[in-house]
Amino acid sequence: MKSILTVFSLILLLMAGANANSQTTGTRLLPYKQKTLVIWYDEPHEIAAIRNLLQQGHGEKAVKLAREFVLTVSALESSGEGQAVLYYALNALCAALTKTGELTEAIGTCDKAIDLVPWKWHAYNNRGTAHFISRDYASALRDYRSAGETLNDGEDARFIIESNIKLAESRLAGSR
């Protein structure tokens, strides 16, 4: 019975990933408070619980749930839809790890997401934020610029990327 529920859950997960109302994770730096704001754009609905935990300040719980989600969808990686869902899961885990200050693991997790789907901007942006928080402003700037290069013309996220680029440039100039 448990395996039937797991298969059914995975089917629902794939269907939700194809939903037009889906959102994706993005991070935007807050210049005055030196904190990270997690903004959600285009992700499967199953990640909503992770988002809510982060928004409520429950970073550790979000990391735990994101890790479980990554494990659940890892088996789907071989298909195109599975790759997209795993990308969103890894990206959400990266954002959660960044929120809890686990920056080395966050960067490695974003690396996996980028290796899986290199044409999406979200993981580049989130990895940039992890680099920024760890004060590696040159790497952050490279990632933010990569995020900008992968944006589609019609995407509304350009203001986030441009804001992050300006902040990284400012910090990089100030550290010289």
H-run or E-run covering 35 = strand 35-43
Q: How far apart are CA 149 and CA 120, in angstroms?
A: 9
Which pLDDT score is estimated for 85?
85
SS3 assignment, position 71: helix
Cα dist from 35 to 49, 64, 84, 129, whole Å: 21, 21, 28, 10
Please write the tens of the pLDDT for every residue from 29-73.
555 445 555 554 455 666 888 988 999 999 999 999 999 999 888
Cα dist from 74 to 33, 79, 83, 107, 125, whole Å: 36, 11, 8, 19, 22
Which pLDDT score is estimated for 71?
87
Per-residue pLDDT of the chain (176 residues; tens, 9 = 90+): 333 323 222 222 323 333 333 444 555 555 544 555 555 445 566 688 898 899 999 999 999 999 999 988 886 656 666 788 899 899 999 999 999 999 999 999 999 999 999 999 999 999 999 999 999 999 999 999 999 999 887 677 888 999 999 999 999 998 76
Which pLDDT score is estimated for 174?
86
Structural domains of the chain, ranges and CATH numbers in brackets: 17-174 (1.25.40.10)
Question: Whole-number mean pLDDT of the chain?
Answer: 78
Q: How far apart are CA 128 and CA 99, in angstroms?
A: 13
Which residues 6+ apart lie within 8 Å of 111 measured at CB? 127
Two tokens, residue 12:
């629902």
Which pLDDT score is estimated for 133?
96
Q: How far apart are CA 41 and CA 63, in angstroms?
A: 19
Which pLDDT score is estimated for 104?
97
Which pLDDT score is estimated for 84?
82
